[in-house]
Structure formats: structure tokens, C-alpha cells
Amino acid sequence: MTERAVAPMPMDSGARRRLAEMIRVDHAGEFGAVQIYRGQRAVFAATRGKAQADALIADMEAGEAAHLETFDRLIAERNVRPTMMAPLWRIAGFGLGAATALMGEKAAHACTAAVEEVIEDHYAKQAEELRDADPELRDVLERFRADEMGHRDTAIAHGARETFGYAGLSAVIKFGCRAAIRISEKA
């Protein structure tokens, strides 16, 4: 069965601007997530005995890449300006991924768990805000939210919370994610 696009309801300029912010920030977030996983994989691919971790991270990266493709399409279809912060998010995401992977597998999974907790909450709030205003985007967000919760659960199952200093590491990563969300909505 093919998916049928549902035309969004007519919106005033403020609602259109808010919708553009949502698409811009979600595009930026998925871009950043791909960079985090690339940083982690760069470390694990070069480390003997980390093939299993690399394969698991590659699987999660593929999911984020599929999300990014969807937001690439929405950016183009809806004529939304992408974030100007992409070059910084590329460096920051890759750096965060590589740094946590260098700390070990559990720390890499702690990074995933922290990021996905913020994104799951972010997508839930956006889906609620959209309600009936844009059923297509709401459905995308709800589907991606479920994927992000799956990534979080996988990370937890692989020892994320066993990371030395987990609470502090998680808090710092969550703070950075929330800051990136606010910045990417506007910039």
C-alpha cells in the first residue's frame, strides 16, 4: 500500500513560520544524529574487537539517515530554509560521537540514550502542537519518535546507564541537545 500525502490545513503566517521552524530543527537534529553515529563508528571501526559495536551503531545510523532523507524531502517540498548551523553541527556531532566512543562502548550508548530521550520528548511536544494542523508531519513525527525510543532502549540494554559518571555525562549531552534545538529553530 502506498502512502497518500495529506494536504496540510491552511495556516496563517505565524503558523507557517512555526511549521518551518519545526521542519528546520528536525532536519538539523537528524543531521546531527547521523554525525554522532559517524563519529562513534570512526572510532569503533578502527578499534580491534569493536566490530559488534560498530555494526549496532551502523544500524542506528541507517535509521537516522532514513529520517534525514525524509526531512531533506520536506525541506525541499515545503520550501523551508535549512539551519545555517549545519557546519557546526557536523563538527560538534562527529566530535561528540568520537569522544564518547573513545570513552568506551557504554559511554557511546550513554550518548545515544541521552540524545534520544531529548528527541523523543521534542517530537512528542511537536506532534501534540500540530494535532490536526498538519496530519502528514504529525504522523512522521510519531513514527520517528517510536524509532528514537527504540534507539534509546537499545542503548540502555547495551549498558548506557552503567557508564561511569552517567548522570553527569547524560546531563551535559541533554543540555547541548536542548541548546541545539533552540538555536536551530531560528538560525
Phi-psi region of 104 (alpha: psi -120 to 50; beta: other; left: phi over 0): left
In single-letter form, the type of residue at position 161 comes to R
Quickly list H helices, 8-104: 13-45, 51-77, 86-103
Q: What is the pTM of this model?
A: 0.87
pLDDT tens, residue by residue, 146-175: 999 999 999 999 999 999 999 999 999 999
Domain ranges for the chain? 13-186
With 0-12 CB in 10 A as exposed, 13-18 as middle and 19+ as buried, what is 116?
buried
CATH top-level class of 13-186: mainly alpha
Amino acid (one-letter) located at 45: A
**Per the structure block, which three cell numbers stand in for 46?**
578502527
Taking residues 72-88, report their average pLDDT: 93
Mean pLDDT of 50-56: 87
Read off the DSSP letter of residue 133: S
pLDDT digits (tens, 9 = 90+) for 88-114: 999 999 999 999 999 999 999 999 999
